[in-house]
Amino acid sequence: MMDRSEYIEFILDHYNNPRNHGEMQDPDILVNGGNPGCGDVVTMYVKVDEIDRVVDAMFEGHGCTISMAGASLITEMVKGKTLEEIQEMPYTPLIDQMGEDVVKSRLRCAILGMDTLKGGAREYPSRKATGQKLI
């Protein structure tokens, strides 16, 4: 287990060097989320295969260090998972990786990317049936 300063360094690394950051061309899922109270905004992009398993995930957005680090981290965590698995994902692994003590006062920020992605995963089957992208 890391100490508080190591968790902060981990979060700062994801913030300063975000993984999977940028706009995805022709995503299967495109979903926007935000925290109106603090102004954090995130757009999640996902490509899925024929069995609705995530083959790629990316994000764009702006906001606090914790929300952007959380979005970066969740794009790494969901690759290879099915949309159903994403919907059922508990928040604990994400929060544990970021350091519960560090993010407990900012949980909405920490889980913004994950919540946004869960919403997209939930909506995808009905959108897919009608040929719509999530916007």
DSSP labels for 45-87?
EEEE-TTSBEEEEEEEEE--HHHHHHHHHHHHHHTT-BHHHHH
Question: What is the mean predicted confidence (pLDDT) over 75-96?
Answer: 97
Neighbours of 120 (CB within 10 A): 25
pLDDT bucket at 130, cuts 50 / 70 / 90: confident
Q: Which amino acid is at 48?
A: V
CA atoms lying within 13 Å on the CB side of residue 50:
0
- Per-residue pLDDT tens digits for 14-34: 999 999 999 999 999 999 999
Residue percentage of the chain with pLDDT more than 90 = 88
Does the pLDDT at position 131 exceed 80? Answer: no
Question: What is the mean predicted confidence (pLDDT) over 47-56?
Answer: 96
63, 40 Cβ separation under 8 angstroms:
yes
pLDDT at residue 134, as a whole number: 58
pLDDT at residue 133, as a whole number: 64
| Cβ within 8 Å of residue 27, ≥6 positions away | 45, 46, 47, 58, 133
Task: Round to whole Å and give the CA distance between 41 and 95.
Answer: 19
- Residue 59's Cα: distance from chain center in Å? 7
pLDDT bucket at 36, cuts 50 / 70 / 90: confident
Question: What is the mean predicted confidence (pLDDT) over 97-117?
Answer: 96
Question: What is the mean predicted confidence (pLDDT) over 65-83?
Answer: 98
Question: What is the mean predicted confidence (pLDDT) over 88-113?
Answer: 96
Mean predicted lDDT score pLDDT of the chain: 94
Does the pLDDT at position 135 exceed 70? Answer: no
DSSP label at 134?
A: P
66, 109 Cβ separation under 8 angstroms:
yes
